[in-house]
A and B are shown apart, each in its own frame.
Chain A
Amino acid sequence: MLELNAERRVRPALGARSAVSGAWDKDTAGAFVEQLFAKHHGEIYAYLVRMLRDGELAADLTQDAFVKAYRNYDTLEKPENARAWLYQIAHRVALDELRRRKIVRFLPWTGESHGAAPSAEHMAMELRLSGDLQRALNQIPERQRAALLLAELHDLTGLELAAALGVSHVAARALLTRARESLRQALAMERAVDAAAETNVSRPLGRGR
């Protein structure tokens, strides 16, 4: 457990405990989560959007993740692990939601701007650039997808990745390796399907000549 010094009692820092008892304290927890939110809400939201492909749902789950962090902040042993700990909460929230809702539909996510729907041209370009990648990501197992997203897009180190996924370092590396291979195969399949579809579309024109 992290012991507080006098300064931290005055200004709660990440991982701080109640100044008096060391027990869960709502004021300290509130300040803690507030600080955590200011630093990390953007990336947590982004991670959940990438996992779930649904901005509204991701916002809800981001809220849930921070509420859970508030409720369980005293489970964080070291403040330097706060980011990975928060990702772990978000990861679990995402997996719970995926299991609960059985999300199987493909929701192409192409980024989001402030309150403005992306233009059709923008959508088309984004889909062309990343549609197959997004679809391939959606096809690989959720834990593998999480490992890839956390490592590649959210820059979690090996130990942070392991903490976020709730597995050992070795297991996290193995999961990441399997994820790369799964994504490679899924991507190859997606592109093969795309190529076949383009061939089918162009065939009638060829016959007409």
Chain B
Amino acid sequence: MSLRFRPRPDHWASSHERARVLAAERVDQPIEATEDAWLNDHLAECQECASVAAAYAAQRAELRGLRRRPPTPPRDLWARTAAAIEREAPATSRGQTAPRRRSYPSAVPLGAISGLLVIAVVVGASLLSRPGPRPSIVGPTAIAASVAPIGSPLLRATPFVVAAANVGWMKLGADGKIEVYDTPVDRVCPAGEGADCPPIAEPTPRSIQLGQAPASVTRSPKDSGLVVVDADTKGNGGGVYVLPGTNATPRPTPTPAESPSTLPSAVVTEPPPTEPPSPPASSEPSPVDTTGSESPSTEPSASPSEVAISPSASVGVTASPTNGTIEIASDVIVVGESEAYSPDGAWFAFSARPADGSHGPDIYLWHPGDPKAIAVTTDHRSMFSAWLGGRILGSRGIATADPTTLLSQAFLIDPTTRHEAPLARTGTWRPSVDPLRRVAVYWDGFLTLDATGTELRPADGHLVLGSWSGAFAPAVTPTPSASAPESAAPPSEPAQSPAEASESPANASPTDSTVASPVAESPMAEASASASATNEQGITPVELASGAVRDWDARWDETGTHLAVWIATEGDPRIGDLTLYSVDSASGKVVTLKRVAALAGFSIGKGRLAWATPHGQDGQGNRVQVVAWTKDSVGSVESRESTEVLVVIR
């Protein structure tokens, strides 16, 4: 204790000096009882000392008030630091000082900064889930700076074969139609060899006709059908279209009774089949507003609804003769970048609000075969976060005493019964949980409404990767699920190489048998699986971003070892920074593997990450870039340059 070094009471210059020192000490920690009593007596008699003591207390509160706005580090700080360390690494002398790399001027958009300072830093142990030398993820050809990882082996100079999943993208063709590309990525090049790497093969595209250019495209894992969110949904209001895939479920005839949506009616462009399947939700209580009073428009949309599917389709999505495109939502603003198919492809969920600005967002759900999407929340402050197994993981803004601040509350919805179960912990916005249900990306903090009162935005807080612990388990006991088995199942294709599976610590976890069980019998069983898998983990949250984070998109690969997070820039919400992380969900260790400037909409899984570059990146046109990894190697490849904006199919 410091007290034994303090002057004895009779050594103080004055009792006032003693009182002030004690008052200052008492701000930090309790003082001895005798000193405390003496101080209280003195302060009771000495007005001046009492005011000093009060000033110390007020000072502390003011200082702590500065915490509310922590400075945000530049997003390229790790890139710069890694580069400095890399320069330091070969030096044998410890006394050498690494040169500094100044930040870019603030006037330069962050996306451009990231693009210019893209760093490929790889820790092989994390990437490949095994010890030993670290392979590298390297930047594509045009990346300005590429830094080999510390201790990385020399990289091969020739392209190598990977077994990554197909990569698909869309772009506006010369004839005004949308060209759909879908091609395998089987060859990538290691670091520094991008210039010699042949571009991604581009087979003859399939052409489709859309009224507007796409803003995002999502592929069904079930039948390869596509959900296209058109660009107007990011502006004045647009539509969400479904292009059925090879094994599409026939659609029923749309009737008002089957479409209790607050969204405008969908338009069916093809004759319905004769035997439509019953929508699973139709027999269950639903929170959907069936009055239609809050619908922005109950009339069928007059927007272009007829989508011509080219008969020349040759790759990827192939329209069957009886299937056409349907508009499952119209006159909407699609909010956030989290739209996704359920792992089994049985459902598609997204967040939207009416284009007329009458209210805020709700979560919408579409089942293949249904004519249109249905709102599954009606509070107008809810957003779809991600799928958690077969259930919707959503989050909602809850009013607080401060009218400008909202608290977030995450919840689960069974897509079949529409039963909603809030999660115990509040303050968690738009969580995206890893497939092993150990960790999640979420906004840890408060929300605010924009000037129109319809858009929820993160306010004070941080985007973090934290434990998906038992604290997130449902706060109330859910009702028994009526979900079909496939709706609760995890992804049917683990898509993990045997080598990766055998070497991944996560896969060796005893909890995996629970997590990877094919069917969770009930929501509670699923929640229990979550809790049991994570209660003992308890990692320290890792901050991914803070400050003015307007929008983001966080998605995991099917192994839960790779996470990609796209964060919109403040100036242009369609452009952002895309970061690939390696995550050890058991230890919570997170390693940044790659950071690039990217358009919204990326695809991660089955051994590769694909994204589209913004126009002008590195002085070039639009390209699709892919980073792919195998057991032993990591490399990248990119498409040919395009003058048109490219949209990667998720």
* A contacts, CB < 8 Å to B: 9-11, 24, 26-27, 29-31, 33-35, 37-39, 41-42, 45-46, 49-50, 55-56, 58-60, 62-64, 66-67, 70-72, 109-117, 126, 129-130, 133, 148-149, 151-153, 158, 169-170, 173-174, 176-177, 180-181, 183-184, 187-188
Contacts and interface: CB of A to CB of B under 8 A. Distances in A.
A148 B103 CA distance: 28
B399 interface: no
Interface in B57-94: 59-60, 62-67, 69-75, 77-78, 80-82, 84-85, 88-89, 94
A177 B131 CA distance: 48
Nearest to A129: B65
B25 interface: yes
Contact of B106 (A33, A41, A109, A117): A117
B516 interface: no
Nearest to B68: A111
A148 B149 contact: no
Nearest to A130: B66
B284 to A, nearest CB: 43
A29 B62 CA distance: 39
A56 B102 contact: yes
Contacts of B110: 114-115
A124 to B, nearest CB: 15
B100 interface: yes
B81 A67 contact: yes
A26 B29 contact: no
B546 interface: yes
A16 to B, nearest CB: 12
Contact of A66 (B29, B59, B81, B592): B81
B52 A63 contact: no
Contact of A42 (B5, B73, B587, B589): B73
19 contacts: A10-B131, A42-B70, A60-B103, A62-B73, A62-B81, A63-B98, A64-B98, A64-B100, A66-B85, A67-B98, A70-B85, A114-B548, A114-B567, A173-B2, A176-B24, A176-B28, A180-B27, A180-B56, A187-B55
A108 to B, nearest CB: 13
Interface stretch (B199-207, B537-545, B557-565): B537-545
A71 B27 CA distance: 38
B50 interface: no
A60 B104 CA distance: 11
B549 interface: yes
Contacts of B75: 114
The 9 closest A-B pairs by CB, nearest first: A30-B150, A111-B69, A27-B151, A113-B548, A49-B71, A45-B73, A152-B63, A115-B110, A180-B24
Contact of A152 (B60, B94, B548): B60
Contact of B109 (A29, A55, A63, A115): A115
Given A38-B590, A177-B21, A181-B24, A60 B100 contact: yes
Main secondary structure of the interface of A (DSSP, over half): helix
Given A67-B84, A130-B62, A130-B66, A41 B73 contact: yes
B569 A71 contact: no
A154 to B, nearest CB: 9
Contacts of A149: 63
B125 interface: yes
Contact of B25 (A29, A38, A177): A177
Given A30-B85, A184-B59, A177 B24 contact: yes
B515 interface: no
Given A41-B73, A114-B547, 16 more contacts: A11-B131, A31-B123, A35-B589, A38-B592, A41-B77, A66-B84, A67-B84, A71-B88, A113-B72, A113-B570, A114-B567, A126-B69, A133-B62, A153-B64, A169-B2, A181-B20
Contacts of A50: 66, 71
Nearest to A111: B69
B495 interface: no
A67 B63 contact: no
Interface string B93-116: 010011011110010011000000
Nearest to B111: A115
Contacts of B101: 60, 63
B176 interface: no
Given A10-B131, A27-B151, A184-B56, A113 B21 contact: no
Nearest to B90: A26
Contacts of B313: none
Contacts of A173: 2, 25, 28
Contacts of A31: 123, 125, 150
Nearest to B584: A11
A126 B65 CA distance: 11
B85 A148 contact: no
Nearest to B589: A35
A42 B55 contact: no
B161 interface: no
B64 A116 contact: no
A46 B71 contact: yes
B542 A38 contact: yes
A111 B71 CA distance: 5
A181 B59 CA distance: 10
Interface string B20-37: 110011011100000000
B571 interface: yes
B100 A63 contact: yes
Given A59-B80, A152-B60, A71 B542 contact: no
A70 to B, nearest CB: 5
B2 A112 contact: no
A112 B77 CA distance: 15
Nearest to A158: B29
A153 to B, nearest CB: 6
Give the most central of B73, B94, B106: most A CB within 10 Å.
B73
B591 interface: yes
A97 to B, nearest CB: 11
A62 B77 contact: yes
B152 to A, nearest CB: 9
A148 B71 contact: no
B63 to A, nearest CB: 4
A66 B100 CA distance: 12
Contact of A63 (B27, B80, B545, B589): B80
A89 B429 CA distance: 35
A21 to B, nearest CB: 15
Contact of B71 (A30, A33, A34, A55): A55
B28 A183 contact: no
Contacts of A184: 52, 55-56, 59
A67 B88 contact: yes
Contacts of A181: 20, 24
Nearest to A60: B100
Interface string B586-622: 0101111000000000000000000000000000000
A70 B84 CA distance: 10
Contacts of A26: 89, 150-151
A137 to B, nearest CB: 8
Contacts of B65: 129-130
A130 B543 CA distance: 26
B71 A58 contact: yes
A63 B101 CA distance: 9
Contacts of A112: 69, 71-72, 547
A153 B570 contact: no
Nearest to B23: A180
A114 B549 contact: yes
Contact of A59 (B29, B74, B546): B74
B610 to A, nearest CB: 25
Given A11-B125, A30-B151, A63-B84, A115 B66 contact: no
A115 B107 CA distance: 8
B570 to A, nearest CB: 4
